[in-house]
Amino acid sequence: MDIRKPNDSELKRILSLSPQAIFDGTLGEVRPTNQKIEQLIEPLLKKGNYYLIATENNTLMGWILIGASKDQFTDKINGFIYELFVLEEFRGKGISKMLMRTAIDYLKQDGYSEVRLSAFAGNQAIKLYEKFGFNIRTITMSLPI
């Protein structure tokens, strides 16, 4: 398996699959349009955030979107994992772990001393994040009214 930055055609494929990634990551609560994905992702990429992809025999298996994020209270810049996704047919093979390990290494090389991420409550990936040593820092709560 190879983990690397995507080429232009691979990036287009990621963007076309991102609505499903967001849908899965939000446990079906959010079904963004391709236009919404563009509005979310394009500014991140323009700011220097980037994808890493997992491939084997030129087959895209998954990706992770990483870069910088500013703490809203302290203005400190941290490394941030914006998105992690493995295509369904490749799940259960350790690809998420490899993407996470590689992403954390890249963020460390990029000079960050802390990495953060957000996840929907109930998302199975939280167990993976905890295994990597991530701890709950903030909790966002909601009340339907």
Q: Residue 105: its pLDDT value, please?
A: 97
- Pairwise CA distance, residues 32 & 49, whole Å: 20
Q: Residue 5: its pLDDT value, please?
A: 96
Residue ranges per domain, the chain?
A: 2-131
Give every residue of the chain whose pLDDT is below 70, as ranges: none
Q: Residue 141: its pLDDT value, please?
A: 81
- Pairwise CA distance, residues 69 & 56, whole Å: 30
- Pairwise CA distance, residues 87 & 91, whole Å: 7
* 60, 10 contact by CB (below 8 A): yes
CATH class for the region spanning 2-131: alpha beta
Q: Residue 70: its pLDDT value, please?
A: 92
Q: Residue 13: its pLDDT value, please?
A: 94
* 117, 129 contact by CB (below 8 A): yes
Q: Summarize pLDDT for 62-97 with one digit per residue, the tens.
A: 999 999 999 888 999 999 999 999 999 999 999 999
Q: Residue 111: its pLDDT value, please?
A: 95
Q: Residue 97: its pLDDT value, please?
A: 96
Instruction: Describe the crossing of helices 8-25 and 34-46 by its angle, rounded to 10 degrees.
Output: 120
Single-letter residue type at 78: N
* 34, 20 contact by CB (below 8 A): no
Q: Given the structure tokens 């810049």, which residue do they identify? A: 77
